[in-house]
Structure 1
Amino acid sequence: MELFEITGFQVNRTNVKMNNYFTKQLKQFEITPEQWGILSVLDSDKATTQKDLAETIDRDQTTIVRMIHSLEKKEIVKRVVNDTDKRSHNLYLTAKGVRLKSKVLPVVLEAHNHVTRYLSMSEISELKVILEKLYASVKDE
């Protein structure tokens, strides 16, 4: 089997290029694509636990703690001790985080449109289904 016939190689190759592209688009906001993932999930009014966040964006808890610490330093995210479980923290966007999220969202949408510009809406839908199937086949490995 040739390298370019291996699905994992093609998915990884595409992911690397897309991640580089998104990194360039987000550089002006001084955040990474991973940090954008956190911003896109968090809200200023509704609490999200670190555990829930880790599950939602599919990162381990250690990585989440490091990323949250970085966003706290930038005053984008605040961490509040959970009232019912003192070992857990609730995460919220700060006012600065809410403003940043609203500024970044149009750039993310434009970047999405750019990377999918050669795909029809039905192809985008089909791609999402295919990627979910690939993810499901390895998520517990």
Structure 2
Amino acid sequence: MNHTSRPDTFEIWGIIMQARAVAYNVRRKELMEQGLTPEQAGILNILHKDKNKIVTPAKIAKEYLREPHTISVILKRMEEKGLIALTKNLTRRNMIRVTLTEKGESARVEAFRLDRINKLFQNLSDEEVKTLYSLLTKVMNNSVEAMAEFESRTHHSLDIFHEYDIKLRAESSP
């Protein structure tokens, strides 16, 4: 790539995918030491910030940009570990409430020390971090819009992203 010209879309896409893969693996390995996955840590954080609200698996799926059935599997595993409690709503039996347990809150606090993740940004200025955040947020929002357009035309699910994540994890496992 000529660094004086604007990189083409494919080059940008490649860098995003490479950065995501490496950063995800750094985070995954950091959390493995605590017995958590990045998805579980993210869910613990959602539950913490919404602790005074009713949180359902559907709300988590929407916020986490994942399919509800994928979130349900993760929540069951988290419940087995004692990190969360799943409670059926007595008035609406098909609605399940998700709450953080004390063990889950302790795991969340430990998971968000972010020792290794902070190193990924150590050579960026505050202004660069703000710019990166702003730009990635725009890319994410554009992606959500594009996915909504695609979904309305084709009725496909987000499973392809989950398959990519599973393949990525399998390739990076020792």
TM over 0.5: yes
**1:124 equivalent in alignment to 2:124:** no
- Please report how far the alpha carbon of residue 111 of structure 1 lies from its aligned counterpart in structure 2 after TM superposition: 2.8
Q: How does 1:1-141 map to 2 (within 5 A)?
A: 6-43=11-48, 45-46=51-52, 47-106=54-113, 108=114, 110-140=115-145, 141=147
- Please report how far the alpha carbon of residue 85 of structure 1 lies from its aligned counterpart in structure 2 after TM superposition: 2.7
TM-score (norm 1): 0.88
Contact 1:54-1:60 at 8 Å conserved across structures = yes
Contact 1:3-1:9 at 8 Å conserved across structures = no
- Please report how far the alpha carbon of residue 84 of structure 1 lies from its aligned counterpart in structure 2 after TM superposition: 4.3
| Equivalent-residue separation in structure 2 for 1:84 and 1:73 (angstroms) | 25
| Equivalent-residue separation in structure 2 for 1:11 and 1:82 (angstroms) | 41
| Equivalent-residue separation in structure 1 for 2:63 and 2:110 (angstroms) | 22
Q: Report the residue type matching 1:81 in the other structure.
A: K
| Equivalent-residue separation in structure 2 for 1:6 and 1:104 (angstroms) | 33
Structure 2 vs 1, CA of residues 118 and 84 (structure 1 numbering), >3 Å: closer, same or farther? farther
Q: Unpaired runs of 5+ in structure 1? A: none
Name the larger-Rg structure.
2
What is the CA deviation profile of residues 6-59 of structure 1, one whole-angstrom value per residue up to 9, with x for unaligned ones?
A: 211110100000011011111111111111100111139533111111111111
Secondary structure class of the residue paired with 2:33? helix
TM-score (norm 2): 0.72
Contact 2:26-2:117 at 8 Å conserved across structures = no
- Please report how far the alpha carbon of residue 81 of structure 1 lies from its aligned counterpart in structure 2 after TM superposition: 1.2
Q: Unpaired runs of 5+ in structure 2? A: 2-6, 148-174
Contact 2:44-2:104 at 8 Å conserved across structures = yes
Contact 2:85-2:98 at 8 Å conserved across structures = yes
Query: What number of residue pairs does the alignment pair up?
Result: 139
Secondary structure class of the residue paired with 1:78? strand
Higher relative contact order (CA 8 A, sep 6+): 1
What is the CA deviation profile of residues 38-94 of structure 1, one whole-angstrom value per residue up to 9, with x for unaligned ones?
A: 011113953311111111111110110011011011111111112443211110111
Contact 2:57-2:96 at 8 Å conserved across structures = yes
**Identical aligned residues as a percent:** 23
